[in-house]
């Protein structure tokens, strides 16, 4: 089932209880840090800054206590990722994978960091590996989505639509799947479908980021210059065709 605010709150409560029973539990500290970051990334928290600060403190502790733990490297990667320190996050995910070649969660997150750091070519193979390892994974919609993004940014619009529709089908509550579909449909000339998808993205988003380009650009990171240029040429161009205003 897709994550919700209540599910994240419940998971955090349980990990906090675990730490109250055993304050030195490395696994509980790691998993609490990972969940705190996850709800920030999923835009399902009203306390993003506090969540990140708490996760950062937990990661510092586990980095000293268990520097060779797979979870420690993954948690550190997630903490760096939520801070948009993508180039620094990459070796953490790569170390987690080196320690456990089947640690599926690291493949998709590594792929996103590779994209924002400027290496789009590695996105699809990393996500395909994640799907092979866990074809019924709860994160499958996000992996489908990111494959769609890789195709969209490289102007393979038909392929992008296939994967973005799969993402929407796997989890219709993802606002960014709808916004990217809006762009792809508009670039293909299917304006009515694009307008519907953009409206749905606006409805699902909790921070009004799809109200205008000014808002979207202010709130979201688009990667190093060559990746941002690809977003401008494809995703933004499609959203303009779908009717997103500048201000």
For 80, the token pair is 């760096």
CATH number of the domain encompassing residue 160: 1.25.40.10
Query: 89 is in which domain, residue-wise?
Result: 1-99
- Amino acid 44: pLDDT: 86
215 occurs within a structural domain: yes
Domain end marker among 41, 75, 99? 99
115 occurs within a structural domain: no
- Amino acid 116: pLDDT: 95
For 178, the token pair is 């709808």
- Amino acid 241: pLDDT: 97
Tell me which residues of the chain have a pLDDT lower than 50. none
Does residue 76 share a domain with residue 18? yes
130 occurs within a structural domain: no
Domain end marker among 99, 127, 161? 99
20 occurs within a structural domain: yes
What is the C-alpha to C-alpha distance for residues 123 and 65, in angstroms, rounded to an integer? 32
DSSP, res 236: I
Question: SS3 letters for 133-191?
Answer: HCCCCCCHHHHHHHHHHHHHHCCCHHHHHHHHHHHHHHCCCCHHHHHHHHHHHHHCCCH
105 occurs within a structural domain: no
SS3 category, 126: helix
Domain end marker among 99, 128, 163? 99
Instruction: Specify the residue for token string 């990459």.
Output: 90
Does residue 83 share a domain with residue 162? no
- Amino acid 60: pLDDT: 96
């Amino acid at each position: 089932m897709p994550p919700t605010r209540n599910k994240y709150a419940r998971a955090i409560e349980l990990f906090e209880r675990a730490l109250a029973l055993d304050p030195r539990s490395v696994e509980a500290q790691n998993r609490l840090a990972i969940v705190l970051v996850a709800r920030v990334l999923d835009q399902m928290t009203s306390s993003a800054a506090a969540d990140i600060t708490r996760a950062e403190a937990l990661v510092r502790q586990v980095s000293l206590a268990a520097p060779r733990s797979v979870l420690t490297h993954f948690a550190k990667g997630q903490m760096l990722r939520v801070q948009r320190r993508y180039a620094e996050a990459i070796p953490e995910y790569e170390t987690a994978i080196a320690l456990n070649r089947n640690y599926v969660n690291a493949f998709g997150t590594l792929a996103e960091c590779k994209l924002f750091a400027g290496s789009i070519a590695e996105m699809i193979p990393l996500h395909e590996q994640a799907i092979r390892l866990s074809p019924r994974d709860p994160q499958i919609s996000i992996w489908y989505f990111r494959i769609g993004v890789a195709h969209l940014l490289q102007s393979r619009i038909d392929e992008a639509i296939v994967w973005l529709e799969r993402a929407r089908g796997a989890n219709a509550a993802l606002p960014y799947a709808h916004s990217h579909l809006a762009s792809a449909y508009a670039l293909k000339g299917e304006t009515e479908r694009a307008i519907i998808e953009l409206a749905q993205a606006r409805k699902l988003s909790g921070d009004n980021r799809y109200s205008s380009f000014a808002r979207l650009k202010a709130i979201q990171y688009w990667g190093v210059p060559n990746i941002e240029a690809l977003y401008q040429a494809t995703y933004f161009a499609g959203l303009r065709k779908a009717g997103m205003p500048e201000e």
